[in-house]
Structure 1
């Protein structure tokens, strides 16, 4: 961490500082190879402070992902509720999940690599949160299918799995310093989805 990045982290409120530090360490070392002691020392806080805001390291891992999912859910709800043609709303939602995943790349990569470390209860909670997101996204596809804007040849559930499979695979190939920007990747994937849905 550079001196200025370290100073920026120090100016954050304690919960955000702990999250920023944990995210960086989990990305660099892996969740299972990062101790609570290393997190609190690097964040410049006490273990008591960590346990005040997060009950465990497991809670930190959950929050790393949950904050991205909350952002994505809010944005999807805004697109879905907008007064625009369904094709436009779906395209914007499909591109947005790619952009927000890539703009929070460490968070999402850490999570998919480390989700199995969560307690069964937390895993269940995350699956329920993700299911809510997928169901809202699928409802947009179904709305377009009912209106005759999208083809009904492929079930909406499969269409959604196809798009989110691409999103989950980003961690395997995307490079922040690569040729394509997050928005360009998002536009390509959103266009592929809409092409697959055209009657």
Structure 2
């Protein structure tokens, strides 16, 4: 590792420690749980591991969460709920134009998945360890996000500004929405800071691809 990279790693580690120490206990627990579950997987991580990682006692966890299961549901539901809120807010501020709405949605979605890669990994990989009621709660939010995209696509088709691919002469906007979401979600699997493209540039790239997929002209560079 070069001296420059070593300095960057050390700076990032110091910033992470400072951020962790400044957080309220519940936020420190959530951050440690995300990191532990991402690195080692939910089944093998214990409550003791999580509390050791955030520098708190086991009793502190039970002040906020009844169990490890409840903690996993909380961290996935919280990041999912915030994603839904940001998507709704972005689309609402786009002025009703389908191209602008889709661009705003993709920008928010991609930047969040570039920035919060650990959270995305845990939410998508570890959800299967939750019971059916807790999974249903999270899937409701995911359907709500999908429906935001479906509504944008429907309005775009109705206004004649979108012409997505057809199957046997028909549009399947739900399938198109899921394809767009899958594409944007999986940026979290490989994107890393310090590469050729910044988060904003990555969002611009994905916005252009999304607009082409639905048969619309890309937004100006």
TM-score normalized by the length of structure 2:
0.81
Taking the aligned partners of 1:146 and 1:21, their CA distance within structure 2 comes to 46
- If you compute each CA radius of gyration, which structure gives the higher value, 1 or 2? 2
1:49 aligns with 2:60: yes
Alpha-carbon displacement from aligned partner over 1:20-46 (angstroms, at most 9, x marks no partner): 111122222222221101111222323
SS in 2 for 1:45: coil
What residue number does 1:81 align with? 92
- What is the aligned length? 199
Residue pair 1:68, 1:104 contacting (<8 A) in 2 also: no
Residue pair 2:36, 2:45 contacting (<8 A) in 1 also: yes
Residue pair 2:110, 2:185 contacting (<8 A) in 1 also: no
Deviates more, 1:57-66 or 1:19-28: 57-66
TM-score normalized by the length of structure 1:
0.89
What residue number does 1:161 align with? 178
Residue pair 1:23, 1:107 contacting (<8 A) in 2 also: yes
Q: Where does structure 1 lack aligned partners over 5 or more consecutive residues?
A: none
Alpha-carbon displacement from aligned partner over 1:126-166 (angstroms, at most 9, x marks no partner): 11111111112211111111111111643211221111121
SS in 2 for 1:32: helix
Taking the aligned partners of 2:143 and 2:129, their CA distance within structure 1 comes to 20
Q: Where does structure 2 lack aligned partners over 5 or more consecutive residues?
A: 1-11, 217-221
Map 1:1-199; keep pairs closer than 5 Å. 2=13, 5-82=16-93, 83-151=95-163, 153=166, 154-198=171-215
Taking the aligned partners of 2:76 and 2:204, their CA distance within structure 1 comes to 24
